[in-house]
Chains A and B, each alone.
Chain A
């Protein structure tokens, strides 16, 4: 019963939400609108589990003086600072929470992503070799799109940004659409497997 009941709930909810789409009634729309809100609320409670696990992990590291435990104090300080400022003063534009967000989180996040500019460039330098026709196409498309994004209009004219735009809009989009249709079919088949109880890994281990 500990596994069968959740499977039954999953099946019934899956069926209801699939059928709901084809029922043009305001109750059906009410269900869909509310379900989206409900799922987000359940997700927020799941986030409590996630943050709880993060805090537990770092507390254990500090308690047992494991390797790099001092950094765990920093992580715990970060969580505490966000929660205390967020719940204590709210999230208005000039609140301490938003100051923390604008001057701590945003700069670090942007810097973290910008680090990739160096690594992506060094990876490209090491691996981009025009050994085959396919590799050459990849290299040429990448170079055109990169140069097309640089303001070189005064030197080479409009043709380079236009060409980059055309590559992004047509050959690139054709490949993307093919991939997206594949993703769609894969997601739908996985969803069907979950609803029908064929895919059960989400139940986890144990009884």
Chain B
């Protein structure tokens, strides 16, 4: 309630045509300065024309053809738009502040502001490569992406890179992992997990896990919200609106992949390999842990490789918070963390600059012990990615 002693400030303002960012908020004050903040899910401009200089031969020609094709006027002939967003184009009436692609300068500006200490860069445009039907085309795009990102973003203070591999091209994935293992700015192997069939626990993918474990690189699963395909976990059927596919598509896919990796015994075979899941929220994590444990009692003989209940393996996974669900009470996040033992494994993620990006305010809303907040904002990520501060 305002009282007569309050100061009054009147400021002429204009409508924002870019989404509001953390630095636009004045609610934090000095509060955040005491934390080391790692944003574990950051996206920069990786549209396909950036890949062109890195693609030779017939795949280079193929990419040229992609780049000159006309896809409904969307800019940059986006791979995502080609096979994903066109399904729901315009359905939100452009309500969302339009998310711009973040250039390197945008990223550096954001880092320079001083709230975010480290950014982990994940692919955007390359996220559908788990789905592309031609494994060699997917592998070629992945190689070009990795080269481009390492050229553009190595040796940038506070910036770390997730290389991407195509699960359709296991041999190529192993080559990529080994190629970048010694680059200290490459901190994780990202597997785009949507559209991957069979799911990621299957033995055909194990060489990827073997290489990642040997190279001491954790694996990050990152989904995408939409693909034009009918079969689960490819998602258009049963999802008539972007809201539905966006909110539930990510966790549905993640549940499938976590279940598959754990139940197929990957954590037993590769005990030193760390996994995390990006962009699927966290409220479903206790659900899958306890649901699988309940079934495990009856069906354990189907999973003879496991040496413990599924929840014991899942409790060692790490989780990017985006899109952090807003629970009704300020104490609810603490209860949720208890349910999945997530104090040491939950990592703040924004998904910047995408339009659904989380602001730190979403986490600060919750009542948490200061030490737990510090872990989620940065310490857990430093541990997971092996960042030397």
- Pairing of A with B: no
Interface residues, chain B, CB within 8 Å of chain A? none
